[in-house]
Structure 1
Amino acid sequence: MVLDFSNRKIRNKILYSVCILMGVMTGFRNHNDWRDTYGYVASFEKIKTLDLFDVNQDNLLYQEKGFYLLTSSIKTLCNNSTFYLLCIGLLSSFLLAKNLSRYCLFPFLGLGIYIARFYMTRDLMQIRAGLAIMIVCYAIQYIKRKKLWKYLLIVLLASSMHISVLLAIPFYWINKININCRKILLWLFVAFVSAFICEAFINLLLNEHLEIIKQAYIDGNSEYSKGHGLSNPMIYFQCLILLVFTFSEKNLKDIIPYYFIFRNGYFYSTILLILLSPYLVLSGRTSTIFATFEIFIIPSFIIILSGKLRIAMYLVIGCVMIGIFFLNCLSLIDSSETLRNLM
């Protein structure tokens, strides 16, 4: 907490140092102890170096050519899986530090929120998505500057790491819509009603127009494809964050330069989470892109209050995030020996 109220230059130096240290810890994790990591390591072993690069190489965990090229480049430098994970971890952590220093009022609190909400699933498991989302967050500055082509080029670069972030492209135009508090409340109501009564219609729409997504994330009867529907507590968590941020517009819009971009993006994320709630992975993969704005939004709640109440709010947010972190640990404990040993 002291660091967030310290000199900006000193704060940023410490922030980058902490994030780089986090990237190093990420790189030296046990390859067999986190979901997806073993698959990425296996793909790394199969991938050819740049001198033998084959754009059509198959039998990999992923199809995105940008991440394939990045992996091939790392392997050309050093054919070692730990070095590979270290490079990806450091790149993601560097972008995280850059985004926090640019967008967040209290970056160390934002870092704590990131660790609680996203670190284990992204940096330790879904490393392509984690890297791609950090690139998209970096691109947000070009929406405010109204530099469409720079934004599109960076998002397309990110999509070459993970295809899901293509959903960030229409956000450039969604952000131009005049979205106010009444519209947010109305669309949340519509989304809840639609999710409750229109699951069959949504499934038909996906079946007719997005067959690849349907096959990847919906077909089958596994826990992987079936979601919790409207009983998913994350829906109500996001709704709460969105509404607090929305009703605090007068207090925050002049302090946070990116206020409306953050609010509109988080609104976009929440609507996707509600509408696609019957499908576990599809709702998560689509909503998580702009759910990342939590690391910029939640720390701003401190500004709503004044005096000693700000310190109290800081501590309350910290305690809530510690609770969420432990809940995430419990959800992953069966698949991670590291977590079992720690807990």
Structure 2
Amino acid sequence: MALYVLVFIILIFLALVEVLKRNTRVSFLTGSLLALMAGFRFSTGYDFESYKKFYESLDNINDVFNGTIDAESGYLLINFLFKSIGFNFYFFILFFSVLSMSLLSYFLYTHTKFPSMFLLYYYSRFFLVRDMGQIRSSLACIILLYAIPYIEKKKPIHFLIIVLTASLFHISALFFIIAYLFNGLFKKLSIQNILVLLSIAIMLGIIIQNPQLYLWAVPGRYISYFTNPNYTNGKWILNPILWMQLAIFAGGILCLRSKDRDEQKKYSLLLKIYFLASLILLAAGDLGTVGGRISTLFATLEVLIVPHLILNLTRNKLLNLILFFGFSFIIFFLIFIVGGTYTQYIPYQTVFWIK
């Protein structure tokens, strides 16, 4: 446990250095720290053994595409290339972690004022579960960030190319197409629209909890996600993540009114896409796994929204920093410790300890 708290403190220090020195290149050091932490782990985090089994099961190129391994072809192809060259699974994990964190760091470096601040929040909210666990979903979500500017610029071809690329690592990325359609359908989210959409999502959530009404339309490969108790034990409207996301969305809507026109347009788009995360959780009913995997594609935008909102909350910059660091720690504490996630990560083991 101490290691994860120590990393959090180091990230705060790096973020402060970045702000005080006005040097955004510090973010590459921040990203490197996270990449190495995820890349050098051994049997730590969700799905580590499953991914290791995938890697070891690849005997020839046909295994990448024949469907015998339950993973996307893009992910399996990179596995196969590394295995063919002679690299072991641990080197592959290091490469994959560096790739994911490099893409995230570069995006934040080019789209935010203080990227290390945003990486700190990413660590609190997503890093431990995704980049040290569900690595396919992590890379897909990070790739999808690059699609957001093309929604704003109304370039559907560029947008689709990025979404299709992300789907090579996690098929759920295709649901991100909804973001483009949603933005076109709702130029502006009024209070009336928000309430209607929430009502529709709740009604769908009720229907979803009665699988006999729609199971006939679900492909055989995915039926277990709708019938297996391990996947249908979601908390639905009692899900604390849902309420946290709705609170952040509401806060964003309120703060949006005080921004200039250009910022309003930019953050209005981010909030619209982020709102989809809550709508999907509601519409998924008790399908915790399905709702979570689709919702997380849109929830990633929280990394862009929360730091910006809190760091511009008052005119007192020092107070904003204190509030941001405090809020980030609360999120880290609630998700990693109170939520019980830490049980999958303690003790942290590294490849250097392999005998």
TM-score normalised to the size of structure 1? Answer: 0.87
Q: Distance in 2 between matches of 1:186 and 1:75?
A: 51
8 Å contact kept, 2:45–2:132? yes
RMSD (Å), alpha carbons: 2.5
Q: How much has 1:306 moved relative to structure 2? A: 3.6
Please tell me whether residue 169 in structure 1 is matched to residue 183 in structure 2: no
Q: How much has 1:130 moved relative to structure 2? A: 0.3
Q: How much has 1:56 moved relative to structure 2? A: 3.7
1:229 partner letter: W
8 Å contact kept, 1:194–1:275? yes
Equivalent residue, structure 2, for 1:143: 151
Size of the aligned set, in residue pairs, is: 331
Of 286-295 and 71-80, more deviation after overlay is shown by 71-80
Of 122, 128, 141 in structure 1, the residue corresponding to residue 136 of structure 2 is 128
Q: Distance in 1 between matches of 2:206 and 2:314?
A: 44
Please tell me whether residue 100 in structure 1 is matched to residue 105 in structure 2: no
Structure 1: tracts of 5 or more residues without a match: none
8 Å contact kept, 1:106–1:299? no
Q: How much has 1:76 moved relative to structure 2? A: 3.1
1:58-97 alignment to 2 at 5 Å?
Answer: 58-60=67-69, 62-97=70-105
Q: Distance in 1 between matches of 2:221 and 2:241?
A: 22
Please tell me whether residue 324 in structure 1 is matched to residue 335 in structure 2: no
Equivalent residue, structure 2, for 1:337: 346
Equivalent residue, structure 1, for 2:51: 40
Please tell me whether residue 21 in structure 1 is matched to residue 33 in structure 2: yes
Cα shift readout 1:112-144 (whole Å, capped 9, x = no counterpart): 111111111110111000001111111212222
Equivalent residue, structure 2, for 1:270: 278
8 Å contact kept, 1:92–1:130? yes
Of 195, 206, 225 in structure 1, the residue corresponding to residue 232 of structure 2 is 225
SS in 2 for 1:338: coil
Cα shift readout 1:120-176 (whole Å, capped 9, x = no counterpart): 111011100000111111121222222211110111011011001101113212111
Q: Distance in 1 between matches of 2:99 and 2:178?
A: 26
Please tell me whether residue 190 in structure 1 is matched to residue 199 in structure 2: yes
Q: Distance in 1 between matches of 2:193 and 2:104?
A: 29
8 Å contact kept, 1:227–1:278? yes
Of 8, 19, 37 in structure 2, the residue corresponding to residue 5 of structure 1 is 19
Q: Distance in 2 between matches of 1:254 and 1:318?
A: 27
8 Å contact kept, 2:36–2:98? yes
Q: Distance in 1 between matches of 2:319 and 2:273?
A: 28
Q: Distance in 1 between matches of 2:266 and 2:110?
A: 10
Q: 1:214 to 1:338 in 2, by over 3 A?
A: same
TM-score normalised to the size of structure 2? Answer: 0.84
SS in 1 for 2:229: coil
1:136 partner letter: L
8 Å contact kept, 1:105–1:300? no
Equivalent residue, structure 2, for 1:179: 188
